[in-house]
Amino acid sequence: MSSFLCLFRRRIFPALVVFSLFSVAAQAQSFWLEAECGQVGSLWNRPADATASNSQYTTIQPGSNSTASAPSNTAGYMNFPLTVSQSGTYRVFARVSGQTADDDSFWVRMDGGSWVMWNNWWNPAWVWVQFPNTFALSAGNHTLTFAFREDGARIDKLNVTTSTALPTGTGSAASNCSTGTTLTVSPNTVSVAAAANSTGTFSVTSNTSWTVTDDQTWLTVSPSSGTNNGSVTVTAQQNTGASSRSAVATVAATGAASQTVTVTQSGTGSAACTVPPMPSFASLPNNSFFPDPFLFMSGTRMTTKAEWACRRAEIAAQAQEFEYGYKPITPSANSTGSRSGNTLTVNVTDNGKTMSFNASITYPSTGTAPYPAMIAIGGSSLNSSALSSMGVAVINLPNDQIAQQVNQSSRGVGKFYDMYGNGHSAGALMAWAWGTSRLIDALEKTPAANIDTTRLGVTGCSRNGKGALTAGAFDERIKLTIPQESGSGGAGNWRVSNFMLSQGQSTQTLSEIVGENVWFRANFSQFSSSVNKLPFDHHSLAGLVAPRALLLIENNILWLGPQSSWSGANAARMIWQGLGVTDKMGYSLTTEHGHCSFPASQQADVNAYVQKFLVGGGTANTNILRNDPGVPFNQGMWVNWTVPTLSGSL
């Protein structure tokens, strides 16, 4: 017996110890999560379903599809925070359903990493499916994120676990649902235009009944009550005042804290628009598509033409914050002018300093004073004789005096920086735009100059063409903008230029241009390897000219990025289309010729625009979309939005 016991201790007990250790190591860590109880963005619906776990599931709103890449709008995300106590390899199982093969995909990522497409699992019944990737998670806090890809895809429950076993039924009880009443609204601020019947919307996310009230007689809400998730439309009466006004809509539900939405209606001018604070670079989402020019920063889309004034103000603010630097707000009263012969002297006093510059004027051989005029950034490369024969004067802006542009050593050098300091955020392009505005101020106060300041255009070629587009975008007194061969940083879209380079085409990109010169603000370089984080592209910057007239003249030189400018122009024209004025936006691309040597083949295009929008009375066709070399525009690759049908008038 003693021999047997000894053998038992030597052989059996160690085996039991090994088994016990094995059991501890094999114990899985598992998180059970209801989809509807996650941090669910406002674009998701939470329908009731008796066959779903917790009797609810989530699905994206109909019509929301993002098949090429994950959506940039965080309202289309669902976040699931996790606190992991045990590091290891984790798998994601989801209880999902999709009625067809076009209703069976999501985008998935962990901790803000790269998005992974999860596709081809469709089944009309609820089924558990394993996400193909695993995640190596350390102990600590993590966030699993789902984003919509195809509408119709439904998700009920998640299991994040170190186990390899496929769950069954509705799984175990979830840990992320509270039993109390839930009520949230998104966004918390809504902007509407000054025009009568201007509207905006916000979403209500709840698991109970709720009501909506507002505190101003000029605002109405519809519906005034609802159950579970819903959308509320606010409609404003006309604001005839110059200043903006605000109202508060309050959403209330029994058992939950009331939620408020501030509705701001602009006054009679764009100056009354309320522009939200600019986001940080780090918070900008990646978006491989051209950003939607009709989408307010709040997440709502334009519904009226009058709203363009405030959407335009947002784009202008974004462009200054991230690309150009800020244009100083210099009162018109601070500028004076005087004419001597063919020279206009412009004097500006601001920031406790005074500066001046001279602009030469070439008067036309025909016409009657006061003359319409084309302001030429650094001189004009258009056909001067043709302009003269149409009765148009040409005014040369000495842009290099205002802001130097030799190379990187030119940063902060020029009369603009003498006035505002060499550390001012504005790059050379915005400094030139400021100089153009001061020139116009001086012309308005100098009748002896014989220039009609209600009929002003701006032009320039190459780098000066970039300046012409900037000047036209940021001064609404300019009636016609004609950038010539402006390429990247002008008519071209940064996203397409990067794509062209990736296809082996030697063209100028953002990462190259920020090292070449000082045209943009210094920290624009942070987008060198992150072009897709730009919350705009140059189709929107061209759109800042709308609804005024814009004619983009381009040359099929690869470095200028003809595919980039053609793609950007097609997208930009959708802005004029939405505003109902497509005859005021044109694009003309000819076959390759000498850079800035204006070809006779484009003269008719220029004549049509000058005669119609500068001289007045022109009847030639200005619906110009000319692409002589036939460069491509892949709309499906770059544009994932549509032109809205906008009501009212501008």
Catalytic residues: 462, 595
Taken as a whole, the chain contains a residue count of 650
**Strand-pair partners of 84:** 140
Is 264 in contact with 246 (CB distance < 8 Å)?
yes
Q: Are strands 88-97 and 127-130 parallel, antiparallel or unpaired?
A: antiparallel
The residue type found at 466 is K
Q: Are strands 451-461 and 478-484 parallel, antiparallel or unpaired?
A: parallel
Residue ranges in 199-245 assigned as alpha helix (H): none
In a 10 Å sphere around its CB, with 0-12 CB exposed, 13-18 middle and 19+ buried, how is residue 181 labelled?
middle
Residue ranges in 365-423 assigned as alpha helix (H): 384-389, 399-402, 415-420
**Strand-pair partners of 33:** 158
| Cα–Cα distance for residue pair 490/539, rounded to 1 Å | 10
Across the chain, how many H-helices and E-strands are there?
A: 13, 31
CA-based nearest residue to 396, from 416, 380, 415, 385: 380
Is 457 in contact with 614 (CB distance < 8 Å)?
yes
Q: Interhelix angle for 463-473 vs 428-444, to 10°?
A: 60
What is the DSSP secondary structure assignment for residue 288, as one 8-state letter?
-
Q: Interhelix angle for 308-319 vs 562-579, to 10°?
A: 150
How far CA 177 is from CA of 34, 53, 110, 173, 322, in Å, comes to: 7, 11, 21, 9, 40
| Cα–Cα distance for residue pair 112/89, rounded to 1 Å | 18
In a 10 Å sphere around its CB, with 0-12 CB exposed, 13-18 middle and 19+ buried, how is residue 572 labelled?
buried
Q: Are strands 478-484 and 198-206 parallel, antiparallel or unpaired?
A: unpaired
